[in-house]
Every structure is written in C-alpha cells, then in structure tokens.
Amino acid sequence: MAVGVFDSGLGGLTVLDAVSRRLPDVPFVYFGDNAHAPYGIRDAEDVYKLTTAAVSRLFDAGCDLAILACNTASAAALRRMQESWVPKDKRVLGVFVPLIEALTERQWGDNSPPREVAVKHVALFATPATVASRAFQRELAFRAIGVDVEAQPCGGLVDAIEAGDEMLAEALVRSHVEALKRRMPHPEAAILGCTHYPLLQGAFQEALGEGVKVYSQANLVAESLADYLGRHPGMRGTGDASMFLTTGDPGFVSDKATQFLRRRIEFRAA
C-alpha cells in the first residue's frame, strides 16, 4: 500500500509532511537523490536519467504510484517518462497539476478551450532549470488566457536551504523578489515553484507584501493525491512500510531532515 515520493534533495519533505497528515494510514517511501542535488542547474537529459533511476528504486520498494515532488523533474522529465518509460501497471505524477488547477479553478480533466481567469499577473519563483523549461507557462496556456507570467530563476536558494543556512536563504529570497518586482512591480499571485521554497514561505510573503497571494504546493498536492487514491485505490502498491532512502550520506541527511520536519527522521542508503 506504499506510495513513493521523490525529490532531488530535502525539499520534497514539505510534500511528504502534507500528504502524511492528509493520508495517515498510507505508508510513504521517500527517495532523496541528495548525492546529485540540486537538479535545478542540470540539463534535461541528466535530470531524466537521474529521475528514472530514482523512480525505479521506488517501484522496487513496492510503490505502484510515485509523486515527483520536484518541480525540476516534473518540468524536465515527467512528460517523457509518461509517454515512453512508465510501465503500464505503474503511475508517475508531478506537482504542477494541482497548482494549475488551483490557479485556474478548473479540474485537470476539463478539456474545454482556455478561458480568462481572475488572476492576471503571476510571479513564478523556481530553479533555473524549471524556468528554462517553460513547463509551467505551457501547461497554464492550455487552460487560461490573458495571464502574464514573470519567472524568476532563484539561483543558489536550494543550495542555501540544503546547507541549513537560513540567513543566506532569506537574503536570497529578498534579492530574487526585488529582481522580479523590477520587471513586474505589482504581481497579484506568486507561485513557489520548487518544493524547497515552502520552507521560506514567510520570507517570500514578507518580501512580496500582504496583497500578494502566495501559492505553495504541499497542501494542494496532498488534496490531489487523496482524491486520486480515492478514485484509483488499486494504485497503492504492495509496500507496507514507510521508509526514507537517500543517495547521500544517511547520517547527514537524517540530521538535516530532522531539522526541517522538527521530528526525528532516519534515512537509509538507497
């Protein structure tokens, strides 16, 4: 009954925490590819190879369904994986879908023509690779018209979060928000397009101002997953125990994860 959650590092723990609270009876297998993090500076082919290797490990752990709790992997690898790699009895889902649904207020299965939505000016904060992919803009354009998206590549932010350097991370948030607001002075909404960034949601909100609605992915993904499993109960897989896997140093990653979630987390070597 296990469901896999994958991220390039520790950011996906924000998603894991939300889905675990929403679905307390479901075992989750978390895979952090910490040895190769961050993905946000890698090219698409490299991200694809690393992501498929990680998801294969989740399948081996008894997961029939894997969530790419990594925007870079969702942007650079997910579509290719779904079209040509994922076995017929498995499913791999990304984190863009719930975000697009929330922003456009329409379900993913709604294939009607694009229409106008309430929000017209959207700031997207993401890794350089996610920004370069333009995946968010592409998916949004299928469903909405008249939305201006200004994307800000947040170089260095994931590294600072992974290193636990809160002061540097908050300074980088302020710098990236200032850079974006020079191009879009008055965004109505902001997308935190990396699962590491909710750890700094307060800093983003402060820098953007109270009038900007900040969309964070973790709770949206949790609700979407609960709905999906309700409709596809057979995708819970054969695994029956939660575990945390990493390609990095298990002791170091465990300590950092414990700081993030404020409860003891024990990783094992993948």
Residues forming a β-bridge with 122:
149, 189
Nearest Cα to 34, choosing from 261, 262, 257?
Answer: 257
Helix (H) or strand (E) holding 124: strand 121-126
**Residue 46 labeled ligand binder:** no
- The residues annotated with a catalytic role in the active site are 70, 194
- How far lies 219's CA from each of 98, 176, 216, 225, in Å? 9, 24, 7, 10
Chain-centre distance for alpha carbon 184 = 24
**How far is the C-alpha of 124 from the C-alpha of 75, rounded, in Å?**
14
**Residue 111 labeled ligand binder:** no
Q: Where are the beta strands (DSSP E) in the chain?
A: 3-7, 28-32, 65-68, 91-93, 115-116, 121-126, 144-145, 148-153, 189-192, 213-215, 243-246, 268-269
Residue 171, burial from CB neighbour count under 10 angstroms (0-12, 13-18, 19+): middle
**Residue 104 labeled ligand binder:** no
Encoded tokens for 109: 């299965």
Q: Is the dihedral of CA 82, 86, 88, 89 positive or negative?
A: negative
**Residue 8 labeled ligand binder:** yes
**Residue 32 labeled ligand binder:** no
**Residue 202 labeled ligand binder:** no
User: Within the chain, what is the greatest distance between any pair of CA atoms?
Assistant: 51
Nearest Cα to 4, choosing from 129, 107, 94?
Answer: 94
Q: Which residues contact 231 (CB under 8 A, 6 or more apart)?
A: none
Contact 13, 77 (CB under 8 A): no
Q: Which residues are annotated as a binding site?
A: 7-8, 39-40, 71-72, 195-196
> Which residues are annotated as part of the binding site for substrate?
7-8, 39-40, 71-72, 195-196
